[in-house]
Amino acid sequence: MDELKKRLMEQIGLDEDKSQSAIEIVLGFIKEQLPENLQGMVDGIVSGEGGANPLDAVKGLFGGGD
């Protein structure tokens, strides 16, 4: 999530606290949209469980990727 926070700070001009808040809001929204049995997957992706890059894992959830 550090990469995402850095991009928010550089590209939008948010400070570190606001960047972290934005990330938490978006992750909360994503979790609300998922069925309850999949919400924990978001936490696993964010924490890097399984060694996956969190950004790549999220892209995979939405059909993105290379």
Give residue limits of the domains in the chain.
2-61
Whether the Cβ atoms of residue 6 and residue 57 lie closer than 8 Å to each other? no
d(Cα 44, Cα 10) in Å, to the nearest integer? 26
Q: 17 CB contacts (<8 Å, ≥6 apart)?
A: none
Rounded to two decimals, the pTM is: 0.64
Place of tokens 């808040």: 21
pLDDT tens digits in sequence order for the chain, 66 residues long: 788 899 999 999 999 999 999 999 999 998 899 888 888 888 887 776 655 555 665 565 566 555
